[in-house]
Amino acid sequence: MKDYYVIIDCDPGIDDAMAIMNAVNSENIEVKLISTVSGNLTIEETVRNALKLTEIFNVDIPVAEGAREPIKRQPIYAGLAQGTKGMGGYQFKTVKREPFILKSPDAIHYALCQNMARNTTILCMGPMTNIANLLLKYPESREMISKIVFMGGSKDENGSTVPYREFNVAYDPEAMQIVFDSNIPLIMVPMELGHIAYFTPEEQLKIKRANKVGEIFYKMFTKYNDFHVGKLGAAVHDSCSALFLTNPEIFTLEPAFLKIEYHKNNDNEYGYIKCDFNANKTNAMVCVDVEIEKFKKIIYGNLFNYN
């Protein structure tokens, strides 16, 4: 089934940027709104980056400002990985476009009401604060969402005793539990996919040589420091969730039961997703693998659209 109408919620962010490029260049989905949330950076930076990305990708899609902090925790930003402005080594001075007149969650609710077709999918590529606020303020919106595809969490703790501290969950675990409790169908795209979905330095040069948009991505990658894959390359976590929507056939899914648990680590306690593949009831499908060559070919194809 085509996921026709899609609302993106994100915190751009370099890998968010690559994911948005893929989403807006696919024939299989139509992106109706790009809602932003604080996460990688402050909300001022993520809105500004998202507006700039719609200019770079030459798409007329409304960009809405969303939550500036988690439901109840203090923000923890990811500037180290994403660069001080969240676009790695790519810097820009001006943004011509203005944010949408409504802010999220009202903007998301408005877009859902516009698409009353009940087949609206939410693609969540950052902390889930906006989605939780949407469900708290507009409980009826859960009837208008066909499923939520989200990048977040770890499908296994890699055998380690310390649960994996994935950023989108750690930033706002309480928001994620509110979403899990809504019974909206969930597709989880965990960190482990990003550990295989990365562009090596040679592939980054191929991206650079594609066109102007490729050059911009190359600049982003120069300061992208995702320590999970280190010098191996640039992990494009969020593109795994975007491509699940545009090309689900290249992914392998397994059913699981997801819930948020908390782990005390020295002086702080962080939330993580407990992903149970052996539970007798399930509330999500989890992406456990992707055909990486087809994955990269699709991304190159989308990028070459800008030639």
Query: Based on CB atoms, which residue is closest to ligand RIB, 26 or 40?
Result: 40
Which does residue 237 touch among Ca ion, ligand RIB, none (CB within 5 to 8 A, set by kind)? ligand RIB
| Tokens standing for residue 142 | 């859960």
Integer Cα distance of 159 and 110 in angstroms: 43
Integer Cα distance of 88 and 81 in angstroms: 8
Residue 66 in contact with residue 129, Cβ under 8 Å? yes
| Tokens standing for residue 135 | 């469900």
Q: Which of 62, 83, 126, 173 binds ligand RIB (CB under 6 A)?
A: 126
Query: Based on CB atoms, which residue is closest to ligand RIB, 86 or 214?
Result: 86
Residue 189 in contact with residue 150, Cβ under 8 Å? yes
Q: Which residue has the tokens 């439901």?
A: 71
Q: How far is the CB of 224 from ligand RIB (least distance, A)?
A: 10
Query: Based on CB atoms, which residue is closest to ligand RIB, 3 or 166?
Result: 166
Q: Show the 3-state SS of 70-92.
A: CCCCCCCCCHHHHCCCCCCCCCC
**3-class SS at 32?**
strand
Q: Which of 13, 62, 83, 194 binds Ca ion (CB under 5 A)?
A: 13
Q: Which residue has the tokens 């001075």?
A: 93
Q: Which residue lies nearest ligand RIB, judged by its C-beta?
A: 167
Q: Which of 125, 186, 260, 273 binds Ca ion (CB under 5 A)?
A: 125
Residue 49 in contact with residue 12, Cβ under 8 Å? yes
User: Is 237 among the catalytic positions?
Assistant: yes
Q: How far is the CB of 127 from ligand RIB (least distance, A)?
A: 7
Contact positions with ligand RIB (CB under 6 A) in 170-209? 191
Q: Which stretch binds ligand RIB (CB under 6 A): 49-57, 101-109, 130-138, 162-170?
A: 162-170
Residue 253 phi, psi dihedral angles, 5° rounding: -115, 150
Per-residue binder mask for Ca ion (CB under 5 A), 15-44, x = binder:
-x----------------------------
Contact positions with ligand RIB (CB under 6 A) in 224-283? 237-238
| Tokens standing for residue 165 | 């501290």
